[in-house]
Amino acid sequence: MDRHTPQSQVHASAIVDDGAVLGPGTRVWHFAHVCAGARIGAGCSLGQNVFVGNDVRIGDRVKIQNNVSVYDAVTLEDDVFCGPSMVFTNVHNPRAAVERKNEYRRTLVRRGATLGANATIVCGVTVGEYAFIGAGAVVTRDVPAFALMAGVPARHIGWMSRYGERLPLRIGGHGEARCPHTDDLYLLQDGVCMLVPGAGSGASQP
């Protein structure tokens, strides 16, 4: 890092426009560009060649890997991971000759979700807490909390723990399973997966 402030660290080749807010401990790496209206929380990492638009809100401890553009109308909650070269959109039917800046569709990525390398999040969806989007998947609809998604278009193929371990649960119906790493207990009820508070060791939780 070549440029330092009390709140954040910005590489000399990066551009942070006047008015942008970077939380304490946030790092902005080579050739990144953060626009004036962006609001970024504490302890984040923005990799090489990352772009963050004006109407973007990013929570704490978010990791955005190289070559990701976070366009206007995208919100990332705390602890979200964006893999290398994954893609956000904000217009559903773009044309070069048609102005659609007033038609942006909002995208919300909830706490702890993982968006794998080269995944695409089509605008207007919500990705649930701790969901896991596999590399190269194309998400076209809302994703449930803890869901594992893969393919084009993305299909729901399983469930993941907060720690990022696959849970031995069916897609639908009822059941229970423990994270093999933390021993936390997860319940599946009518196709909805949820963490049972206080029912595991919580060891090494993110």
Domains of the chain: 1-70 (2.160.10.10), 73-91+104-206 (2.160.10.10)
pLDDT in tens, 97-128: 999 989 999 999 999 999 999 999 999 999 99
In whole angstroms, give the CA distance from residue 33 to residue 36: 10
Q: Bridge-partner residues for 46, per DSSP?
A: 28, 64
DSSP class of 112 = T
pLDDT in tens, 120-161: 999 999 999 999 999 999 999 999 999 999 999 999 999 999
Longest dimension (CA), the chain: 56
Q: Binning pLDDT at 50, 70 and 90, where does residue 2 land?
A: very low
